[in-house]
Amino acid sequence: MTAATAGAPQPIDREQLLARLRDAAPWDAVVIGGGATGLGIALDAATRGLRVALIDAQDFSAGTSSRSTKLVHGGVRYLAQGNLKLVREALEERAILLKIAPHIVHPLEFIVPCYRVFERETMRVGLGAYDLAAGRYSIGPTRALSKAETRERLPGVKAEGLRGGVSYWDGQFDDALMCIALMQTAYAHGATPINYVRCTALRPEGASTLVTAQDVETGEPFNLRTRCVFNAAGVWVDAIRKMANPSARPVTTVSQGSHLVVDRDFQPGTAGMMIPRTRDGRVLFAIPWHGKLLIGTTDQARADAPFDPQPSPQEIDFIIETAAGYLSRPIRQADLRAVFAGLRPLFSPSAAGSTARISREHAVLTESGSLISVVGGKWTTYRRMAVDALAAATHAGILPVGRSRTANLVLTQDDMLIASADDVLKAGNGLQRFSAHCRRFTQARTEADVLARRARLEFLDAASAQRAATRLRNAAA
Ligand SMILES: Cc1cc2nc3c(=O)[nH]c(=O)nc-3n(C[C@H](O)[C@H](O)[C@H](O)COP(=O)(O)OP(=O)(O)OC[C@H]3O[C@@H](n4cnc5c(N)ncnc54)[C@H](O)[C@@H]3O)c2cc1C
C-alpha cells in the first residue's frame, strides 16, 4: 500500500465558514456530528468532489471520540466471541490508519501477565490466532514470555504468583488529535466543517431535506438545503432521527466506559498491559499515554446521554480494585491525576439486554427519504463506516456513484499539536502560542477546546489543566 505525503494545516476562519452556511446554494451532503464517524464521512464525501458541510453542537470530538481507550485494534474479545469477520476488517483498517496517519497512530506492544496454571499457554494460542487473523496486516509477533521477561517489560507488574506472560502487538493513537487531523484534511479538500453549530430540526422537502441549525455562540439560525443528511450523532443519533420522524423507534443503547489516569511510575516501561478478563467479563488495559498511565475501561448501562458524562464512584473503585490484582503498588484515590468517561453508542434494534453482549458492529440506516444514520461501530473502523455510509447514499440514488479515496489519503500533519502536552506547555509563553495556534488552525473556541482536546492536559492531569486555564485567562486579561 502506498500513500501520498501529509499536508500542513491551513488557517481556518470561522467567519468564512459561517458565510458558506448562509449561502443558499444547496449542499450535496450535510453531516451532523463531528466525531470519528461524521468527520470520516465528511472527508470521504469531500474527496469524491461533493459539496459537504459538517456541523457539531460542541467541539470536534467532544462527544465520545475524545474519550476512548485510544486503541486502533481488532478487539481481542471479538475473536473470543468468534466474530472473525469483524476482527479481520478492523485489523485491515489498523494497517490503513498506520499508513495514512503515521504521526498519530503507532504500533504498541501489549503484555498479558499470567498468574493461573496454563493461562500463558491458552493466551498464547488465543493471541496467536488474533495475529493470524491479521494475515499480511500483522504488525508484530505474538510470543510467550518467561516470568523474568514479563517483569522486565512490565516493571510495575505484581510479581507474587506471576508465572509468565504473553506479548502481542496492536495499534495506539490519540483520538482527539485524529479528529482534528480529519477535520483539517476535510477542510483542505473543500469541506465546510464547523463546530458549535447545532442541528435543531430536519424537514424533508421533495427530493431534498432542509436542515435547520443554530450557531451555539451567537444564536444565528441557518437553513441548509441538502440532497443528503448523514446522521453521525453518536449516542444522540436517535434524537436526530426523531427530528425527521417523531415516531422513529430508538435503535441505540448507551453504555458508559470510564478511565483513570495516574503517573507512569505505577507501570513504567514502553509496553501496555492487557488484563483479559475482569470481574464483569471485560478487558482492562493499562497503557502508556503522553507520559502517563491510562487505565480502563468499564461498561455500565445508562438510560440518559449527557454531553459531559462523569465516571461514577463505583466505576473508579472497580478499576482501582481490578488494577490492584496486577500492579505491585496499589493505586489510591489520591494518586488519580484525571478521570474521564465516554458513552458507547451500541446498535440495538431491540434496545434490550446486557450492553456487554451487543456487537460493536455498525449499522447504516436509510430513512425518511434522504436521511442516512450511522449507528454503533468503533473508532478503528470509522473510515470503513464512512465508505458504507456513502455506499448507502449512492445505492439509494441520493448521491452519485463515486470511489472512496481515503484508504490512500495521508491526513494533515499538525506538528504543533502532535508535540506532547508537556513539551508545549512547559516552555515560557508556549501555552499562549499553542492556544493561538489551536484557534487559528484547528477551530478551538474555548479554553477547554485547547486544554482538553488539543493539549490533552485535562485528560492527563486535571490540576495542571486548571493552572494552565488560569494562566491563559490572566494572559488574556
Ligand atoms: C470508554 C470507551 C472506550 C472506547 N475505546 C475505543 C478504542 O480504544 N478503540 C476503538 O476503536 N473504539 C473505541 N471506542 C468506541 C469509539 O470511541 C466510538 O465508537 C466513536 O468515538 C464514536 O464516534 P461518533 O462520531 O459516532 O460519536 P461522537 O464522538 O459521540 O460524535 C457525535 C457528535 O454528535 C454531536 N451532536 C449531537 N447532537 C447534535 C446536534 N443536535 N447537532 C449537531 N451535533 C450534534 C455531538 O456533539 C458529538 O460530538 C470506545 C468507546 C468508549 C465509550
Going by alpha carbons, the residue nearest to atom 39 of ligand 1 is 57
**What pLDDT, on a 0 to 100 scale, did the predictor assign at position 223?**
98
**Quick one: what percent of the chain has pLDDT higher than 70?**
95
pLDDT at 2 over 60: no
pLDDT at 268 over 70: yes
Give Cα separations from 376 to 14, 50, 256, 314, 416 (angstroms). Answer: 30, 25, 14, 25, 32
Nine cell digits for residue 25: 446554494
Q: Categorize the per-residue pLDDT at 444 as very low, low, confident or very high, splitting at 50, 70 and 90.
A: very high
Angle among Cα 134, 103, 70 to the nearest 5 degrees reads 60
| Minimum-distance ligand 1 atom for the alpha carbon of 198 | 42
**What pLDDT, on a 0 to 100 scale, did the predictor assign at position 426?**
59
- pLDDT tens, 47-85? 999 999 999 999 999 999 999 999 999 988 777 777 888
Nine cell digits for residue 36: 470519528
Ligand 1 close to Cβ of residue 94 (< 6 A)? no
Q: Categorize the per-residue pLDDT at 95 as very low, low, confident or very high, splitting at 50, 70 and 90.
A: very high
pLDDT at 185 over 80: yes
Ligand 1 close to Cβ of residue 389 (< 6 A)? no
- pLDDT tens, 205-264? 888 999 999 999 999 999 999 999 999 999 999 999 999 999 999 999 999 999 999 999
**What pLDDT, on a 0 to 100 scale, did the predictor assign at position 425?**
63
Grid look-up 504521526 returns 103
- pLDDT tens, 304-334? 999 999 999 999 999 999 999 999 999 999 9
Give Cα separations from 334 to 130, 268, 365, 397 (angstroms). Answer: 37, 19, 46, 57
Count other C-beta atoms under 10 Å from residue 396's C-beta.
13
Q: Beta-strand (E) ranges in 104-196? A: 105-114, 143-145, 164-173, 192-194
**What pLDDT, on a 0 to 100 scale, did the predictor assign at position 79?**
78
Compute the distance from residue 340 Cα to the ligand 1 centre, in Å. 14
- Mean pLDDT value of segment 424-441: 84
Compute the distance from residue 156 Cα to the ligand 1 centre, in Å. 32
pLDDT at 420 over 90: no
**What pLDDT, on a 0 to 100 scale, did the predictor assign at position 282?**
82
**What pLDDT, on a 0 to 100 scale, did the predictor assign at position 78?**
78
**What pLDDT, on a 0 to 100 scale, did the predictor assign at position 372?**
95
**What pLDDT, on a 0 to 100 scale, did the predictor assign at position 59?**
98
Q: Categorize the per-residue pLDDT at 354 as very low, low, confident or very high, splitting at 50, 70 and 90.
A: very low
- pLDDT tens, 390-413? 999 999 999 999 999 999 999 999
Ligand 1 close to Cβ of residue 380 (< 6 A)? yes
**What pLDDT, on a 0 to 100 scale, did the predictor assign at position 360?**
54
Ligand 1 close to Cβ of residue 172 (< 6 A)? no
- pLDDT tens, 206-217? 889 999 999 999
**Which residue among 65, 180, 380 is best mutated to probe the pocket of ligand 1, counting the most ligand atoms within 8 A of its Cβ?**
65
pLDDT at 6 over 80: no
Ligand 1 close to Cβ of residue 57 (< 6 A)? yes
Ligand 1 close to Cβ of residue 56 (< 6 A)? yes
Inter-axis angle of helices 36-46 and 175-188, nearest 10: 20
pLDDT at 356 over 50: no
Q: Categorize the per-residue pLDDT at 343 as very low, low, confident or very high, splitting at 50, 70 and 90.
A: very high
Nearest Cα neighbor of 153 from 113, 105, 107 is: 113
> How far is residue 393's CA from residue 31's CA, in Å, rounded to a whole number?
13
**What pLDDT, on a 0 to 100 scale, did the predictor assign at position 476?**
84
pLDDT at 351 over 50: no
What phi and psi values does residue 211 have, to the nearest 5 degrees? Answer: -100, 120
- Mean pLDDT value of segment 158-185: 98
**What pLDDT, on a 0 to 100 scale, did the predictor assign at position 75?**
85
The mean pLDDT of the chain is 93
pLDDT at 358 over 60: no
pLDDT at 23 over 90: yes
Q: How far is CA 448 from the centre of its chain?
A: 17
Query: Which residues have a Cβ under 8 Å from the Cβ of 306 and sit 6 or more positions away?
Result: none
> How far is residue 336's CA from residue 319's CA, in Å, rounded to a whole number?
11
Q: Please tell me the pTM assigned to this model.
A: 0.96
Ligand 1 close to Cβ of residue 69 (< 6 A)? yes
Count other C-beta atoms under 10 Å from residue 366's C-beta.
16
Compute the distance from residue 38 Cα to the ligand 1 centre, in Å. 9
User: What is the end-to-end Cα distance of the chain in Å, rounded?
Assistant: 51
**What pLDDT, on a 0 to 100 scale, did the predictor assign at position 355?**
42
Ligand 1 close to Cβ of residue 383 (< 6 A)? no
**What pLDDT, on a 0 to 100 scale, did the predictor assign at position 76?**
82
Compute the distance from residue 178 Cα to the ligand 1 centre, in Å. 13
